[in-house]
Amino acid sequence: MAEFTVTGLRVVRAAARYQSFSRAAEHLGYTQSAVSRQITLMEQAAGAPLFERLARGVRPTAAGRIVVRHADSVLDTLDNIRGELRDASTGVAGRIRLGAFATATAALVPRALAAVTPRHPMLEVRLREGLTPGLLAALSRGRLDMAVLSGEVDPPDTVATAPLLDDALYVAAPARHPLAHRVSVPAEELRGERWIIGGEDPRGTLLGAWTGATWQPIVAYTARDWGAKLGLVAAGLGVTVVPGLLVPALPAAVAVVRIDDPAAVRPTVLAYRKRGPDGGHPLAEALRDTAAVLNAQLRARLRD
């Protein structure tokens, strides 16, 4: 009895896609007789005709559509296996020291690591969390190889930078707050809110990244830890500013509203030593790809 084969499944899929044995043969680089022979063998394995022979071309039967559907799954799986084996054989090995500011470690960095690790199992990443000035200093001294930094960065000559995204700032508010169902809010409308900030001086926190001199915030609580800030927000004790990178990690009890202010944007950049792993490193590529995905997911969430 004939068996399903990888070659046969590939031929069946091509014939269904092009609705022609001759075009399938041309696409695969086979002769038309070879394609016909493979189709016959696959029909024997299926125990039923897979194609209707028409005056011009062919059309999958009900049995053919079943085989094509599974052929897509099988062939895609085989392609993934080949890709992973290829990556494993040529994968990047060694240790890389990555620094990142706190909110980048909430979603961006973990997702990038989850993407790059299976493809490069011999790559060891040591993660260090810190503030941007300290991370930049560690990078320039050779204590880090790469870092995700926030805000305007003036790197030394030994360090290069590349943009990851312009991270919009949001107001995080309790789920039942009047702002919770809005997409955006002008900064002036936030004048009367009670704020939870990260330091005694509002200008030294994210709040100071966009608030002008027209009004002073009413500071209800000061908390440096993001878990504490968001816990206070969820309890209805005030609002705070969060970067877009943190939004995917927010609890359901916290809603976000885009701040409608040109200054309510914080650049996020990737920095790396010029004599070390550069912007073409797989980890750097994973960080760029993940930043793009998170940005798209955030826009979709806010539209919904």
CATH number of the domain encompassing residue 218 = 3.40.190.10
Same domain, yes or no, for 141 and 200?
Answer: no
What whole-number distance in Å separates Cα of residue 98 and Cα of residue 135? 9
- Give the pLDDT of residue 304: 55
Q: Do 11 and 120 share a structural domain?
A: no
pLDDT at 87: 55
Q: Is residue 184 situated within a structural domain?
A: yes
pTM of the full structure = 0.63
Does residue 275 share a domain with residue 136? yes
Contacts with 262 (C-beta within 8 Å, 6 or more apart), sequence order: none
The answer to whether the CB of 270 falls within 8 A of the CB of 146 is yes
pLDDT value, residue 83 = 67
Confidence (pLDDT) at 48:
93
Based on the structure, what is the number of domains in the chain? 3
On whether residue 49 sits in a domain, the answer given is yes
- Predicted confidence at residue 297, as pLDDT, reads 75
Q: Is residue 12 part of a domain?
A: yes
Would you say residue 110 lies in a domain? yes
Residue-number span of the structural domain to which 23 is assigned: 6-85
Check whether residue 137 and residue 197 sit in a common domain.
no
**Distance (Å, whole) CA 157 – CA 88:** 35
Q: Is residue 237 part of a domain?
A: yes
188/258 same-domain check: yes
Instruction: For residues 191 and 248, state if they share a domain.
Output: yes
1 within a domain of the structure (yes/no): no
Of 53, 85, 117, the residue that ends a domain is 85
275 lies in a domain? yes
Co-location of 250 and 172 in the same domain:
yes
Q: What is the pLDDT of residue 11?
A: 94
**63 plus 49 within the same structural domain:** yes
Q: What is the pLDDT of residue 199?
A: 80
pLDDT at 36: 92
The tens digit of pLDDT for each residue in 249-272 reads: 888 899 999 998 888 888 899 999
Query: In terms of domains, do 225 and 191 share one?
Result: yes
Residues 171 and 201 in one domain: yes
Q: Reduced to 3 states, what is the DSSP secondary structure of residue 106?
A: coil
DSSP state of 205: S
Helix axes 282-303, 108-116, angle to 10 degrees: 130
Domain termination site, one of 59, 85, 111: 85
Q: Is residue 31 part of a domain?
A: yes
Q: Residue 147 and residue 150: Cα distance in Å, rounded?
A: 10
Q: For the chain, which residues score pLDDT lower than 70?
A: 1, 83-93, 203-204, 211-213, 300-304
- One domain for residues 159 and 227: no
Domain boundary among 51, 67, 85: 85
**What are the φ/ψ torsions at residue 139 (nearest 5 degrees)?**
-65, -45
Residue 255 sits in the same domain as residue 203? yes
Looking at residue 90, what is its pLDDT? 54
Task: Compute the distance between CA of residue 302 and CA of residue 296 in angstroms, rounded to an integer.
Answer: 10
Please answer whether residues 9 and 67 qualify as being in contact, where contact means their C-beta atoms are separated by less than 8 angstroms: yes
pLDDT score of 240: 93
